[in-house]
Structures are given as structure tokens and as C-alpha cells.
Amino acid sequence: MLLVCPISEHRRTPIPDNYYELPLWERLYTQRSDVPAITHLDFSARVQTVHKETNERYWQLIDDFRKITDYAMLINTSFNVRGEPIVCTPEDAYRCFMSTDMDALIINDFLFLKKDQPDWQNMSKWKQEFKAD
């Protein structure tokens, strides 16, 4: 993820006339595009490209998502709760999934829906332990 590029004009949303004069915090929470999770304050985004020839399975996932949503992108982010180490094992992934507000977890060919999981005995109080930014 070493590349940075501008968000396409057709993805940008109108901003207030005084956007560049707003305090940083207000600019941060102004929606700048229809892909807000990746749009930086200056309308750029960090990108990672995927080629069919080097990772066909992941490329196919992105292409299938594009066919359904018209967005040929997925968000690649760290998998952890603030203050905890990054998930390293399927067990870590399941614990994090069950202890947070995630609705679904996919590990390889397996889909776990929160509503279909048995009661989880190890629910941590992650919302209380780790304050939001």
C-alpha cells in the first residue's frame, strides 16, 4: 500500500464552501466521497492493486463485489480491537469477531454469521476497555 492517488471525481461529494477553513476535526468528519472510509482530507486514498495473474482468488472476489455494487474495491485494514494485538490465528479471529459488533466473519471458504453462532462465554467488555477515538 505504497501508492496514493486522488479519488475519482465521480466518487466525490459536494463539500461546504468553507471546507478548507474548517477546523481539522470538522473536516475529518465531513463526508468527502461515496467511499468515506478510504477518502483522506485531501481527497486522496492509499491503494493496493491486485492482479488476476498473481492472486486470482482475491481478484475474483473484488470483481464479483464490483458486479454487485459498482465498487471495484475492498477495504484492507488491520484486524484487531484497539489496544489488542493484531489477529494472527483463526481462533484470534473468532474471538475478536464474537467480542465486537461485527456481523460476519469469513475465513477461507467458511462464513460465520454472528446470529448463527452459539452463545459466547468469553465476551470481553471491549467497548469499555478501549475508548473510541
Residue type, position 10, single letter: H
Q: Say what the pTM is.
A: 0.66
Q: How far apart are CA 20 and CA 23, in angstroms?
A: 8
Same domain for 33 and 63: yes
| 86, 80 contact by CB (below 8 A) | yes
Residue-wise pLDDT for 36-85, tens only, equals: 989 999 999 998 899 999 999 999 999 999 999 999 998 877 888 878 88
The verdict on residue 82 lying in a domain is no
Same domain for 61 and 17: yes
| 89, 80 contact by CB (below 8 A) | no
Number of domains in the chain: 2
The verdict on residue 111 lying in a domain is yes
Q: How far apart are CA 12 and CA 7, in angstroms?
A: 7
* Res. 110 pLDDT band, cuts 50 70 90: very high
C-alpha cell, 50: 491486485
Same domain for 95 and 56: no
| 117, 93 contact by CB (below 8 A) | no
The verdict on residue 80 lying in a domain is no
Q: Which domain range does residue 113 map to?
A: 90-129
The verdict on residue 79 lying in a domain is no
Closest CA to 39 of 3, 85, 6, 15: 6
Measured between alpha carbons, how far apart are the two ends of the chain, in Å?
Answer: 23
